[in-house]
Amino acid sequence: MAIADPQIKPRPVIRQLDDAAINRIAAGEVLERPASAVKELVENAVDAGATRIEVVIADGGKTLIRVTDDGCGIAASDLPLALSRHATSKIDGSDLLNIHSFGFRGEALPSLGAVGRLTITSRVPDADAASIDVAGGKMSDVRPAALSSGTVVELRDMFYATPARLKFLRTDRAEAQAVGDVIKRLAMAEPFITFILRDASNGDNRTTFRADAQTGDLFDALHGRLQTVLGREFAENALAIDAERDGFHLTGYAALPTYSRGAAIAQFLFVNGRPVRDKMLLGALRAAYMDVLSRDRHPVAALFIDCEPTLVDVNVHPAKSEVRFRDPGTVRGLIVSGLRHALAGAGHRASTTVATATLGAMQPQQPPTEPRVYQMDQKSLGPTRPSFSARSMTFQAQAPGFQEAPSGRVEPVVEDEPAHLPLGAARAQVHENYIIAQTENGIVIVDQHAAHERLVYEKLKNQMAENGVAAQALLIPEIVEMAEGDAAMLLAIADDLSRLGLTIEPFGGGAIAVRETPAILGEVNAAAMIRDIIDELADQGDSASVKAKIEAILSRVACHGSIRSGRRMQGPEMNALLREMEATPLSGQCNHGRPTYVELKLSDIERLFGRT
């Protein structure tokens, strides 16, 4: 009897999968979690021309997702076709690069029907409403239904047909939050549509998010919608962005550097109205704020890039969350330059949240159970240091706005510096570090060291831009070996690097020769710098590492060359500093993104003292 060789395996047989298996595989690509289903259904509603979209979920979307819209609807005869794979009304298939809609694959509805219990009820004008069911890939017949207009898509028991997927879902609360994030992103992209999100868990029907349709022009509507989604503070501290370059149009709002976050959780990017998470675009956003934020802070922005559909490929990922631009360098440059121009145009402006935090810190902390004790009822605590009183009087005699009278008393004098200027007129210096200035309707407190540090830094950068970066020739050129592709990528930006003082030349094969380095950096490891640049190019398509290193040196020089804390300043010096801040872009924050001044309105100060 022949014995089978255990090393010989049976030849695999190629077989055609049935439609149910194909739909479940497709669903795994498109539907990661309930939020993915909500995204697909709401995008379909937007494509249908809806002006009002209501989403109801239960148990984080695991047991119920219902999307109701007032769009154009689906004809009864088209309902079975709508549940077939790759059936769509968005494109005809002749040009996959000229897409003007959210959806175009024709995969969402059949994928939902393959993993859950799906019901579609719809009505088109001048026709009766109709409904169809599909559960686990099995479709029912079309039947009459009651509906005034639009479409209602209801998905129950998501992933019941693929129970293994349920184990990978998070808690109901986390899934509900993910659904809310999806709705908010789509609401930002469509400010003229009303969005409502309700939670029907445990028999409730509470509204968790609502954004009513905005009116006015696009910028006004977008500003109003962002205030609803991101909050009033963002709207108050956001700069309008409007820039164009080579067929790309950048619009939106970006926050001042002093209104930033500790994590990159409030960065929203859209391409032709489609919410995307693109590494290159996020890198450009970081680069635009690189000079005004420390590494542990992150900008807040909602940016919209619009272009001809042929300039961007949205068909690179099943979930359509990633895109590929024909010319990514142009888009990156547009974002960086557009944001930097807006930030520079903001001048010395700092965020209103700085003043809010200051006022909050000034609020008296009284135990709720004890009656309020007024100042006149308390004994004076006296000076905190024996020399405080004397120091105060001595300083006041030197401060602007005061002069020592013959009798030795301190009396106010009239200053020529007008208080109607944005940062007002200097009135005093306290603790040898903070300038107190009076404005028309309040006061300004300036950190003299932080403010002057930014002013000196901006001067050094302007000088570098005008005169270039001095290069230091290496006695013996340093040869750096790398892959030929990396060498070609690096040599393509050789002119840009040369303007920063880094001169490179091809040295055959995959090697390049470093002949000059930026003099301001002193002795550097040229090979390590080159490899950092290559990593940045591979990751983001552009490199700012050399410029960042140079600007870091300039920042340190500015820090050491600025007015130090503890130095007493005369009135003219303080007013000169204020005027220079008003004329210098980005002077509202220091080189590390911290505010250089706090402005308090007189009405807020009076409220602190109960004078309202």
Residue pLDDT, tens place only, 35-82: 999 999 999 999 899 999 999 999 999 999 999 999 999 999 999 888
What was the pLDDT predicted at 536?
77
> pLDDT (tens digit, 9 = 90+) per residue, 340-369?
999 988 888 877 777 777 767 666 555 544
Residue 331: pLDDT band (50, 70, 90) is: very high
CATH of domain 218-345: 3.30.230.10
Task: Count the Cβ atoms, other than its own, within 10 Å of residue 159.
Answer: 20
Q: Where is pLDDT greater, at 103 or 121?
A: 121
Q: Is the pLDDT of residue 420 over 70?
A: yes
Contacts of 542 (CB under 8 A, 6+ apart): 283, 284, 287, 329, 332, 536
Instruction: Using CB atoms within 10 Å of the CB of residue 404, give its burial: 0 to 12 exposed, 13 to 18 middle, 19+ buried.
Output: middle
Q: What is the pLDDT of residue 594?
A: 84
Question: Residue 537: what pLDDT?
Answer: 79
Per-residue pLDDT tens over the stretch 150-200: 999 999 999 888 888 888 899 999 999 999 999 999 999 999 999 999 999
Mean pLDDT of the chain: 82
| 305 and 282 Cβ atoms separated by less than 8 Å | no
Q: Look at domain 350-362+387-612 and name its CATH class.
A: alpha beta
Tokens of 523: 């002795």
* pLDDT for 86: 61
CA 235 to chain centre: 13
The CATH H-level superfamily of 19-211 is: Histidine kinase-like ATPase, C-terminal domain (3.30.565.10)
Quote the tokens at residue 268: 């929203």
The pLDDT value given to residue 15: 73
Task: Report in angstroms the alpha-carbon separations of 78 from 83, 131, 383.
Answer: 9, 11, 84
From CA 401, how far away is CA 441, in angstroms rounded?
A: 18
Where would I find the beta strands (DSSP E) of 256-330?
267-271, 274-276, 301-306, 312-313, 324-325
Write out pLDDT tens, residues 216-270: 899 999 999 999 999 999 999 999 999 999 999 999 999 998 888 888 899 999 9
pLDDT tens digits for 74-107?
999 999 888 877 655 554 444 455 555 565 555 7
Percent of the residues in the chain that have a pLDDT greater than 70, as a whole number: 81
Nearest-10 crossing angle of helices 526-540, 484-491: 90
pLDDT at 519: 85
Q: Is 366 left (phi over 0), alpha (psi -120 to 50) or beta?
A: beta
Which is more confidently placed, 224 or 297? 224
Q: What is the pLDDT of residues 541-580, one digit of tens each?
A: 666 777 777 877 777 777 777 787 788 899 999 999 999 9
Q: φ, ψ for residue 55 (rounded to 5)?
A: -120, 130
pLDDT band at 384 (very low <50, low <70, confident <90, very high): very low
Report strand pairing: 274-276 vs 267-271: antiparallel
CA distance from start to end of the chain:
106
Domain definitions of the chain by residue range: 19-211, 218-345, 350-362+387-612
